[in-house]
């Protein structure tokens, strides 16, 4: 086949994909070609525009390093990450909703006892976080593993604070008690901008968008026999809840801070300073048959 034009080129490319040995590779490749060609036909780019698009992707790759993944940032800001998350988490009604993992998760965060302060000596409004982990139907999940992490009062994560010399802060791993409950002390996080000093930031500005995410606390929760939950709890009233740069906000994940004055009880003790309380009860879904089969394969 030869002599292709704008009307015949797509069919020609699709025909050459028929020899793919892996059916999934063929399916993905065919869909990619159909949608890419359809996109090009819709916008009818000039040579200059197509060159600029290739240069944009080239700059995305150049910006990637061991500590930064600009392609993930691009996926996040185009809503692709949340779309993939939604497709892969069609959970039963009542299970806690998921959202994106984010770029600041760290494997093997330090273990912390229930009631520990994961923000020792850091400036900010004291925050007491409490909640529970249970299964659909209400049965508690004792011993559930809970990873938590969040930004400081200025919107920075510990991995962005290079002056700390690599020390971890505002992140920990806890275990739920026999009743599935957990609690810890920290400080109230702030809204913050995603990294916008690269090509993704240029894209956002060209699109008339801001780079900010509303204040939130990350949670990753796992228990044997249940789907791992990756989600955030957002702070009610944040001015970026309706314009999150990565489209991660869901109404069910928003909670209002309760302000308490010094002298009130928390965790069985009288607190000698004013503080805020954030509470969320998480509900995990049983592992799906597809996930169970994948783990056994």
- What residue numbers bound the domain in which 7 lies? 1-44
pLDDT tens profile 284-293: 999 976 565 5
The torsion defined by the Cα of 103, 97, 75 and 63, in degrees rounded to 10, comes to: 0
* pLDDT computed for residue 150 by the predictor: 96
- What one-character-per-residue DSSP string does 172-222 give? EEEE--TTSEEEEEEE----EEPP-SSHHHHHHHHTT---EE--EEEEEEE
Which residues of the chain, if any, have pLDDT below 70?
162-166, 289-297
Both 153 and 36 in one domain: the answer is no
DSSP H or E stretch at residue 133: strand 126-135
Same structural domain, 165 and 30: no
Whole-number pLDDT of residue 22? 97
Is residue 15 in some structural domain?
yes
Question: Residues 168, 245: one domain?
Answer: yes
Q: Please report whether residue 203 resides in a domain.
A: no
Asked if residue 160 and residue 254 are part of one domain, the reply reads: yes
Nearest CA to 89 out of 292, 297, 293, 229 is that of 229
For residue 117, which phi and psi values (nearest 5 degrees)?
-100, 115
pLDDT at 165: 59
The pLDDT value given to residue 72 = 92
Specify the pLDDT at position 240: 98
**Structural domains counted in the chain:** 2
Q: Is residue 138 part of a domain?
A: yes
pTM over 0.85: yes
Q: pLDDT digits over 122-152, tens only? A: 999 999 999 999 999 999 999 999 999 999 9
Distance CA 133, CA 229 (A): 11
């Amino acid at each position: 086949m030869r002599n292709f034009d704008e009307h015949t080129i797509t069919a020609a490319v699709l025909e050459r994909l028929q020899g793919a040995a892996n059916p999934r590779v063929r399916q993905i490749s065919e869909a990619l070609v159909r949608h890419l060609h359809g996109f090009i036909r819709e916008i009818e780019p000039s040579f200059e525009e197509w060159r600029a698009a290739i240069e944009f992707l080239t700059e995305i790759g150049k910006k990637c390093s061991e500590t930064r993944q600009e392609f993930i940032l691009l996926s996040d800001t185009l809503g692709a990450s949340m779309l993939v998350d939604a497709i892969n988490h069609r959970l039963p009604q009542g299970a806690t909703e998921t959202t994106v993992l984010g770029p600041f998760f760290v494997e093997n965060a330090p273990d912390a006892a229930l009631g520990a302060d994961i923000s020792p000596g850091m400036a900010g409004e004291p925050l007491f976080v409490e909640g529970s982990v249970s299964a659909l139907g209400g049965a508690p999940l004792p011993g559930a593993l809970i990873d938590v992490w969040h930004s400081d009062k200025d919107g920075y994560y510990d991995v962005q604070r290079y002056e700390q010399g690599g020390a971890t802060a505002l992140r920990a791993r806890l275990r739920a008690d026999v009743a599935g409950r957990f609690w810890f002390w920290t400080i109230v996080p702030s809204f913050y901008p995603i990294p916008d000093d690269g090509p993704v930031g240029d894209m956002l500005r060209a699109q008339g968008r801001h780079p900010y995410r509303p204040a939130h606390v990350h949670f990753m929760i796992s228990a044997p026999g249940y789907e791992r939950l990756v989600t955030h709890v957002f702070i009610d009233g944040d001015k970026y809840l309706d314009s999150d740069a990565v489209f991660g906000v869901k109404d069910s994940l928003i909670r209002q801070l309760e302000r308490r004055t010094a002298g009130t009880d928390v965790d069985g003790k009288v607190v000698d300073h004013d503080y805020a309380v954030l509470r969320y009860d998480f509900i995990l879904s049983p592992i799906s048959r597809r996930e169970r089969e994948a783990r056994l394969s």
